[in-house]
Amino acid sequence: MRVLFVCLGNICRSPTAEGVLRHQLQATGLDRRVEVASAGTGDWHVGKPPDRRAQQAGAARGYDLSALRGQQVCVDDFHEYDLILAMDESNLSNLKRLQPAGAKAEVDLFLRRYQAAVDEVPDPYYGGDDGFSEVLDLIEHGCRGLVRELQGRS
């Protein structure tokens, strides 16, 4: 199983989700059966590490995001990944426009799929440090739901 998280620039939300899911997969023993990555719909941060604030917020909870590097979604991703999860409606729309006919990937809105109360992970980039903690709360909750789904598929 291959999972791809997607946000706009791939330096805040999607790499945080990648790091959190990797951690949760290791804790449940699914890390050998599930591959995780993240990407952005934009190309501004390709090759760059996650935002310093995202790394700090993640590290405070035991997630190491430092090795991750930004990449941009491409058409091939729709054939290589099984599940592509967007952080918000705007990126979901971008993904659906890019998705080729007949691609195997299931494309969905991350939190809508795993949390009924909130549909989108807000972009913390232009806010303060508290926004990164809020994003982590939402992503941790969503990833727990995703792990339950992955366990059910085994």
Please classify residue 71 by burial: count the beta carbons closer than 10 Å to its beta carbon, then call 0-12 exposed, 13-18 middle and 19+ buried. Answer: buried
Inter-residue contact 73 to 6 (CB < 8 Å): yes
**Hey, which residues are catalytic here?**
7, 13, 123
Pairing relationship of beta strands 106-109 and 83-86 according to DSSP bridges: parallel
pLDDT of residue 116: 64
Q: Could you tell me the two tokens for 95?
A: 């993904």
pLDDT of residue 153: 81
Please classify residue 153 by burial: count the beta carbons closer than 10 Å to its beta carbon, then call 0-12 exposed, 13-18 middle and 19+ buried. Answer: exposed
Residues of the chain with pLDDT under 50: none
Inter-residue contact 135 to 152 (CB < 8 Å): no
pLDDT of residue 61: 97
pLDDT of residue 54: 97
Smallest Cα–Cα separation from 73: which of 102, 93, 55, 51? 93
| CATH number for the domain formed by residue range(s) 2-153 | 3.40.50.2300
CB neighbour list of residue 106: distance below 8 Å, 6 or more residues apart: 82, 83, 84
Inter-residue contact 114 to 121 (CB < 8 Å): no
pTM for the model stands at 0.97
pLDDT of residue 115: 75
Cα 87 to Cα 4, 90, 101, 118: the distances in Å are 11, 9, 22, 11
Task: Give the residue extent of every domain in the chain.
Answer: 2-153
Inter-residue contact 14 to 6 (CB < 8 Å): yes
